[in-house]
C-alpha cells in the first residue's frame, strides 16, 4: 500500500498504476501490458519475485521492462540473485518513498 501511495503522484503525469495480488498474476499482466517499469517483491504468493523477474527478462525476453526488486531481504546473496535473474535495481525495505518516486521518475523519463 505504501508503494502504491508513493507512486500515485505519477498518475498526474499520465502513468497507469497496475497491481497484482501474486506472482502469477503479475507475470500475466507484465506479458500482456509490457509496462516500462515494474516493482516486484521477492516474497509473493504463487511465484516469487525472483521467478517473475527471470521469466520476464530471460524467457519472455522483455529486456526493455525495467524491474526494481523491492524486498526486506538485504543480504548480499539476495542482491546477487536478483542481478542474476535480470533485475535492474534492488531496493531494501524499509524504503524511502522519495527515493522510490525519484527513481520511478528517472526510469520513466520525467
Cis peptide bond N-terminal to 94, omega within 30: yes
Q: What local confidence, expressed as pLDDT, does residue 63 receive?
A: 93
Which pLDDT band holds residue 71 (cuts at 50, 70, 90)? Answer: confident
Mean pLDDT of the chain: 92
Q: Is 69 helix (H, G, I), strand (E, B) or coil?
A: strand
Q: Which of 15-19, 30-34, 54-58, 92-96 has the lowest mean pLDDT?
A: 92-96
Long-range contacts, 53-56 (Cβ 8 Å, 24+): 53/82, 53/85, 53/86, 53/87, 54/85, 54/86, 55/27, 56/27, 56/30, 56/31, 56/86
To the nearest whole percent, how much of the chain has pLDDT over 70? 98
Confidence band (pLDDT; 50, 70, 90) for 74? Answer: low
**28: Cβ–Cβ under 8 A, 6 or more apart, which residues?**
none
Instruction: Give the integer Cα–Cα distance in Å for 23 and 8.
Output: 22
- pLDDT single digits (tens) 37-61: 999 999 999 999 999 999 999 999 9
Helix %, strand %, coil % of the chain (to 5): 50, 15, 35
Contact 18, 33 (CB under 8 A): yes
Give residue 20's pLDDT: 95
Structural domains in the chain plus CATH codes = 2-99 (3.40.50.2300)
Amino acid at each position: 500500500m505504501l508503494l502504491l501511495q508513493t507512486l500515485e503522484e505519477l498518475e498526474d503525469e499520465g502513468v497507469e498504476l497496475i497491481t497484482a495480488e501474486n506472482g502469477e498474476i503479475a507475470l500475466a499482466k507484465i506479458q500482456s501490458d509490457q509496462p516500462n517499469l515494474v516493482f516486484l517483491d521477492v516474497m509473493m504468493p504463487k511465484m516469487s519475485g525472483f521467478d517473475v523477474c527471470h521469466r520476464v527478462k530471460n524467457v519472455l525476453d522483455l529486456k526493455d521492462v525495467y524491474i526494481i526488486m523491492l524486498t526486506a531481504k538485504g543480504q548480499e546473496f539476495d542482491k546477487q540473485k536478483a542481478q542474476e535473474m535480470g533485475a535492474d535495481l534492488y531496493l531494501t525495505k524499509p524504503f524511502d518513498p522519495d527515493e522510490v518516486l525519484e527513481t520511478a521518475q528517472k526510469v520513466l523519463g520525467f
